[in-house]
Amino acid sequence: MDNLNKAITCLRLATGVMCLGLALNAFSGTAIGTFLFMEWEWSHHSSVRTEHIMGYIVLAVGVSSFLYPVRPLLAVAAVYAFLVAYLGYKTGGYHFSEYTLFAYFVRIVTPLAFILALFIQKKNWIQDRSRSWAKVLLRVLSISLAITFFTHGVEAIGSHPFFIDMIIGSGINLMGLYIPESVALQALFVIGCVDILTSLWIAIRPNIYVAFWMGTWGLVTAMARITETGWMSYPEVLVRAPHYLVPLAVVALLFFVEKKEEYRVNTLATDIGI
């Protein structure tokens, strides 16, 4: 069960770190507060106070996911991530806001996948049954990653202004090099094509090397928030923890499923006397 435990550890970290980032963002303001203030016409004080309360709740969920995961609380984290995404889509005001739910998809699914992983671990099934449920978990994670990365690829090919600024800003801050906008656009097109290709690959046929690439690229793009605007953007890196930790969970699950398949074949061969 070692590889399954590794996958669970990755999901635990992804959920906990993401919740910490969500809480920090809640304390500074999100689409939820904007929606309450603009659409429901709550007072500024009430909107901010409500967001802060939500932030403390999500922070508690994150802490509990590290220490003692409680499945109903993990579901709360998924609901909160969905609310942030959905209300971001509803309020709009930024480029590609119509894709927000898809871009956030892996963040919404991660706490739910963690619940499923804990369920498998608690049952302590062996052989074929544990492998079957692990394959379900693997499929859920692979498809959620595919949706998020595919969306990012579409945004990159569509020349998302924030991505352009991120490339130019990171070039200046890291190397003191000004990258022309035309070069940034060309780079974005290539990046978008790679994101779409890897997303289709992981969805159709999960692969260890593709998952490693997605995890590495997910970390690079998350850290780019800091390289562009400085360390004060670290909550954005935390919120994107599923982007670089869920692929590692996929790798561990692939090893787990492969080992179970090898065990099944060897057992069958022994039974028939080969």
**CA 49 – CA 53 distance, rounded (Å):** 6
> How does DSSP classify residue 274?
-
Q: For the chain, which residues score pLDDT lower than 70?
A: 1, 123-129, 259-274
The model's pTM: 0.90
pLDDT at 94: 86
Q: How many domains does the chain divide into?
A: 1
% of the chain at pLDDT higher than 90: 80
pLDDT of residue 3: 86
Q: How far apart are the first and last CA of the chain?
A: 26
Residue 269, pLDDT score: 37
Query: What one-character-per-residue DSSP string does 154-220 give?
Result: HHHHTT-HHHHHHHHHHHHHHHS-PPPHHHHHHHHHHHHHHHHHHHHHHHHS--HHHHHHHHHHHHH
Q: Which domain holds residue 145?
A: 2-271
Share of the chain above pLDDT 70, in %: 91
pLDDT (0 to 100) of residue 126: 53
Tens digit of pLDDT for each residue in 67-81? 999 999 999 999 999
Compute how many other C-beta atoms are within 10 angstroms of the C-beta atom of residue 24: 17
- Concatenating the DSSP letter of every residue in 34-73 gives HHHHHTS---HHHHHHHHHHHHHHHHHHHHHHHHS--HHH
